[in-house]
Structure 1
């Protein structure tokens, strides 16, 4: 009986200190994540339901939500395609200046967001290098939702490239060669063999780029023009409320953005889990 009980016992970890590390992790997350987020709900709870609804459902706030979420979604969607293309080129091909191109991918991580916003505004303004060429064609980038999307593409591209790139490097080329030898065309080989392996990292990169875009402020505030009902993003509206000492109104808007972002990220994580499960079963 004693031997059977010991055989069913869960083996202890080789590395000790699980309790201490778990306690430190919970404490760290509580101080940096849980408590600040809980403060948003606590501060907003001081509003009556009518005040809360009047704040978060006003026409100006709804317009800022639409601009923030729509531009972030389309920017992440564009990065999903071109991030995969760039990662594919960096992994599968050799060309002069490859290391330089690979290092430039991380530039949005290191570059201050305000600098990126000023640079994009200077380039795409009607009197800028590219904006002056687009202006005669009737294409206006700066101070439009298109400019906001462009700024979010710039800051979100590394998230997709850096999540897809390691997976492409770990793919076995022999499987692709075997598929080609068996008569599969390149498109079918990509769709049936390569793409299923890339769907989880693509969804992860999309989620990271989308989440970064929703909360982005520095690179967008310059190129957006900050026109209410047209190009005003939700983070800027929160800053405006704070400057007016309307702390409850700012936290109410932030709480709605937090809830919507959390739901969308849960949905993306669920899709990622489904795709991982499908790959394992196949």
Structure 2
């Protein structure tokens, strides 16, 4: 007698039971009049598909089953990144990568729901990405490639200001904007590196020249001070030498004196010569 495998039958039975439970839960959800809005969300109520004007705050709310539905709109901080190509003022190709933080304006969630949809992903695809690309292209065209690097903060602020204005029109608030990176063509990057190296060498040469000038001035000052010291020393030596020579001459005269006073004639008072012999 053949053995009948009843496993597929059991498996189908389990699937039917799970589906039935899911259908019941979904039915209870549709028929439930209670709606809970969590923190960081706002609610948009639709009545037969038409959005009400009221913005529902976090908490417990009631609806008419089957006739009304509550859509949750996330107003918490969202992050996004994007990249694209643009041309600078001097027609250099620039690849820009940006990062933004944004959120839905809680007061504008109804308009966002009506015009864009219930998801922030839809808002990013339809509004933020095109607006960011347009802002980057518009601002990049105002600056040369070198200025995009040297005036990066100014470029970032200009792009952020333009992007913020475009997003606010659609109920989206820009919290932070950053330029992650600017990428240029290889030839231009090499030219920039060569220029930077030349400027660094120029600055080094200028610093060396300044150092040499300072050292030369120091040597001149040192030589002048030494010359002044030698001149003063020579003056002192000359005065001392004259005094010494005068003393030596006097000593030599004393040494050579024979003890006799000179005879002077014609005077009224003759010198009296004293003889040691009587």
Range into which the TM-score falls when normalised by the shorter chain: under 0.3
Task: Find the structure with the greater CA-based Rg.
Answer: 2
More strand by share: 2
TM-score, normalised to structure 1's length? 0.23
